[in-house]
């Protein structure tokens, strides 16, 4: 009897293994992929004794503070109508936060409150302007440095905000062309960046008693991004720069001469995307460069030891420090992989203690998700194009239905990591191709500039060439290829239906741009200083009207003969919603197959769950009918 049981047990194990390797994959509920985080936006207090976070309650997120040593938790807010759009520690005992009403863009109420939930004071009410905290250090126990466009909606001035009475005193008035301000480690305003729309000028002053003086001027394709001022080397700023080089490097910049004093990290084939400065040590800790994944190059041995320890405690995952105390001993760490959205952890360096705080999405099981692998191919005009390919579980890479996902843009890119949309589509049995077409960031100045005024032209070719590469590799079923995107990715998707309807069987757009002319005209006032840059990237309506018209799908509805799916939030102030409505009407006049869905996205990510579920269910049905079943 025992032998029979062992035999049956062995057969069962073999059966289960066979099911896992080649069996049918469970179709997961739509909402599992797009659940809102229960807890998010963790921030450690400057003294490392308290941990603040936002917690979802009845579709509203409220602010909580936890004593790290005792675990005692205090709820600071009890919101009903509004949501918290931003919060920050300003001292060991106090926080500021903004409440925003849904549908009222940039209309904020600013509050200060202590960590016990007491002494709450409203500092501003219904401010219809954009406010940004430049430095979260509370100076003289009273003042924060903030930027705001309250004086002029098109520019941001710098103010000293008195957190005791809400008064805002002008600290630096914007002459009209400043697009960013930079403080040093002590919270002093030391640098500004101005723009005429195409060229950017770096301005500097040694102290707040002096006027800003120009250091250098470069066109917008050239990056000079200040990371931090050196606290040991006078007039030196650490910056990411691609001046006189194609790829970005980390350099020491002399603010008096405007020259590079030294190069801390540079490589002709690698692009620097970030750098971490240690205020506690007064030096750069590491630099981040990106290939198909992000990598660290350490500039400080202690930082290297810290991250190696974290890697040992959290193996087989990527980790990012998202908050730390002033002494750099208490850290909030976020983890993730391509198959796991990840978790938050609290790590105390001097004790080595690691505590899990929460999962980003507890519904996701890593073994049910799919690998995101890097791919590359050569475009028809000889440019190397990189991207990512995600294939469904338990399937051979042969003759698969494919959904192409061009990213939003410009100056963005697809990156390696967990992507809920990609995993949702892969779980439905589709291979997903993501393309970093020319004009994407991260590949150097030349590659970025190669996409200028190529919307509907070479950018479209790059995406189409990726599909043809998949067909040549026999990965894609040439009769079952769809394309879907958000924003300018949605623009590319709908343009594909017009430019190459024989390659794609259907196209879907989520809040996509359909009219480049109205897109440029809708640029908000506080971006007006960058208008000339948009003209170079997309085209100037006064000079390039015909190109922009030809490149805009809204004027070519008569060329569409494949099924189209369009969804948009009609309350979204960032897009011209009438374009999509007009386009859909023109398609319906011609009896072209079109599905139109108006979503009701809330203004805050923690409040979008129901709307996301409906939208992605509609997209799923559209793809099922027009791609999988054909």
Res 13: pLDDT: 35
Q: Tell me: the pLDDT tens digits for 225-284?
A: 999 999 989 999 999 999 999 999 999 999 999 999 999 999 999 999 999 999 889 999
Would 204 be classed as within a structural domain?
no
Give the residue, 106 or 286, on which the prediction is more confident.
286
Would 334 be classed as within a structural domain?
no
Q: Tell me: the pLDDT tens digits for 316-347?
A: 999 999 999 999 999 999 999 999 999 999 99
Res 490: pLDDT: 97
Would 14 be classed as within a structural domain?
no
Would 574 be classed as within a structural domain?
yes
CATH number for 530? 3.40.50.1820
Instruction: Centre a 10 Å sphere on the Cβ of residue 353 and count the other Cβ atoms it contains.
Output: 11
Assign 570 a pLDDT band (cuts: 50, 70, 90): confident
Alpha-carbon torsion angle 439, 440, 444, 449, nearest 10: 10
Assign 576 a pLDDT band (cuts: 50, 70, 90): confident
Res 604: pLDDT: 42
Res 622: pLDDT: 97
- In this structure, are strands 372-378 and 384-390 parallel, antiparallel, or unpaired? antiparallel
Residue 185 DSSP symbol: T
Contact 465, 262 (CB under 8 A): no
CA distances to 255, 272, 343, 382 from 248, rounded to whole Å, are 19, 5, 30, 23
Q: Tell me: the pLDDT tens digits for 288-300?
A: 999 999 999 999 9
Res 136: pLDDT: 83
Res 10: pLDDT: 37
Res 23: pLDDT: 60
Contact 358, 38 (CB under 8 A): yes
- Give the range of the structural domain holding residue 400, as residue numbers without chain letter: 370-599
What is the dihedral sign for C-alpha 533, 536, 542, 546?
negative
Would 40 be classed as within a structural domain?
no
DSSP lists the bridge partners of residue 359 as: 343
Give CA–CA dist 474/605, Å, rounded: 39
Q: Tell me: the pLDDT tens digits for 14-54?
A: 333 333 445 677 999 999 999 888 999 999 999 999 999 99
Res 154: pLDDT: 84
Q: Tell me: the pLDDT tens digits for 404-436?
A: 999 998 889 999 999 999 999 999 999 999 999
For the chain, give the mean pLDDT.
90
Q: What is the DSSP string of 297-328?
A: EES-HHHHHHHHHHHHHSTTSEEEEEEE-TTS
The reported pTM is 0.90
Assign 512 a pLDDT band (cuts: 50, 70, 90): very high
Q: Tell me: the pLDDT tens digits for 188-199?
A: 999 999 998 889
Q: Tell me: the pLDDT tens digits for 80-103?
A: 767 788 899 999 999 999 887 655
Would 243 be classed as within a structural domain?
no
Contact 283, 300 (CB under 8 A): yes
DSSP lists the bridge partners of residue 53 as: 64
pLDDT exceeds cutoff 90 at 513: yes
Res 598: pLDDT: 86
Q: Which two tokens stand for residue 47?
A: 């003294």
Task: Write b or e for each residue in 258-287: b if 16 or more Cβ atoms lie within 10 A of its Cβ, otherwise e.
Answer: eebeeebbbeeebbbbbbbbbeeeebbbbb
Region of 306 (left: φ > 0; alpha: ψ -120 to 50; beta: rest) is: alpha
Res 603: pLDDT: 45
What is the domain count for the chain? 1
Contact 593, 505 (CB under 8 A): no
- In this structure, are strands 400-404 and 431-436 parallel, antiparallel, or unpaired? parallel
Res 523: pLDDT: 80
**Cis ω before 410 (30° cut-off from 0):** yes
Share of residues in the chain with pLDDT > 90 (%): 75
Would 630 be classed as within a structural domain?
no
Would 525 be classed as within a structural domain?
yes
Q: Tell me if residue 199 falls in helix, strand or coil.
A: strand
Share of residues in the chain with pLDDT > 70 (%): 92
Own/partner pairs for 169-172, CB < 8 Å, 24+ apart? Answer: 171/145, 171/208
Res 317: pLDDT: 96
């Amino acid at each position: 009897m025992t032998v029979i049981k062992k035999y049956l047990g062995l057969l069962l194990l073999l059966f289960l293994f066979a099911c896992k390797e080649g069996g049918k994959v469970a179709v997961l509920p739509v909402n599992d992929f797009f659940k809102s985080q229960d807890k998010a936006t963790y921030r450690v207090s400057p003294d490392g004794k308290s941990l603040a976070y936002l917690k979802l309650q009845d579709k509203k997120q409220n602010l909580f503070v936890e004593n790290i040593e005792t675990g005692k938790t205090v709820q600071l807010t009890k919101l009903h109508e509004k949501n918290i759009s931003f919060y920050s520690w300003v001292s060991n005992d106090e926080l500021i936060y903004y409440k925003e009403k849904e549908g009222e863009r940039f209309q904020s109420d600013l509050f200060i409150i202590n960590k016990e939930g007491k002494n709450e004071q409203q500092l501003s009410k219904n401010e219809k302007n954009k406010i940004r905290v430049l430095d979260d250090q509370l100076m003289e126990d009273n003042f924060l440095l903030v930027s705001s466009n309250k004086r002029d909606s098109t520019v941001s001035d710098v103010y000293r905000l008195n957190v005791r009475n809400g008064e805002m005193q002008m600290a630096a008035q914007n002459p009209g062309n400043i697009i960013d301000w930079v403080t040093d480690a002590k919270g002093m305003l030391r640098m500004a960046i101005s723009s005429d729309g195409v060229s950017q000028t770096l301005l500097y002053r040694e102290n707040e008693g002096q006027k800003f003086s120009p250091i250098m001027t470069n066109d917008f394709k050239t990056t000079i991004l200040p990371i931090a001022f050196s606290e040991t080397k006078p007039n030196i700023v650490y910056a990411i720069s691609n001046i006189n080089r194609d790829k970005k490097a980390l350099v020491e910049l002399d603010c008096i001469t405007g020259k590079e004093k030294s190069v801390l990290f540079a490589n002709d084939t690698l692009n620097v995307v970030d750098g971490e400065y240690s205020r506690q040590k007064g030096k750069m800790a590491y630099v981040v460069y990106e290939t198909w994944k992000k990598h660290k190059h350490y500039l400080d041995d202690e930082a290297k030891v810290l991250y190696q320890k974290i890697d040992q405690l959290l193996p087989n995952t990527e980790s990012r420090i998202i908050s730390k105390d002033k002494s750099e001993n208490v850290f909030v760490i976020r983890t993730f992989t391509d198959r796991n959205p990840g978790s938050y952890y609290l790590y105390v360096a001097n004790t080595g203690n690691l505590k899990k705080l929460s999962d980003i999405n507890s519904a996701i099981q890593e073994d049910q998700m799919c690998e995101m692998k890097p791919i590359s191919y050569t475009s028809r005009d000889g440019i190397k194009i990189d991207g990512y390919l995600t294939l469904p579980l338990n399937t051979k890479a042969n003759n698969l239905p494919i959904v192409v996902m061009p990213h939003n843009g410009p100056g963005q890119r697809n990156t390696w990591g967990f992507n809920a949309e990609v995993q949702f589509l892969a779980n439905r049995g589709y291979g997903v191709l993501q393309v970093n077409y020319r004009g994407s960031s991260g590949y150097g100045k030349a590659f970025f500039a190669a996409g200028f005024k190529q919307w509907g032209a070479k950018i479209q070719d790059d995406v189409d060439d990726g599909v043809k590469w998949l067909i040549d590799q026999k990965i894609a079923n040439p009769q079952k290829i769809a394309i879907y995107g958000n924003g300018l990715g949605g623009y590319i998707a709908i343009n594909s239906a017009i430019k190459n309807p024989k390659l794609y069987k259907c196209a879907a757009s989520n809040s996509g741009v359909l009219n480049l002319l109205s897109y440029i005209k809708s640029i908000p006032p506080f971006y007006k200083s960058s208008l000339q840059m948009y003209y170079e990237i997309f085209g100037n309506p006064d000079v390039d009207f015909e190109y922009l018209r030809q490149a805009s799908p809204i004027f070519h509805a008569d060329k569409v003969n494949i099924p189209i799916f369009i969804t948009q939030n009609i309350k979204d102030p960032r897009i011209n919603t009438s374009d999509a409505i007009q386009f859909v009407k023109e398609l319906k006049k011609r009896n072209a197959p079109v599905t139109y869905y108006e979503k009701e996205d809330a203004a805050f990510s923690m409040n979008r769950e129901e709307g996301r579920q409906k939208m992605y269910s509609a997209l799923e049905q559209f793809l099922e009918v027009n791609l999988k079943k054909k």
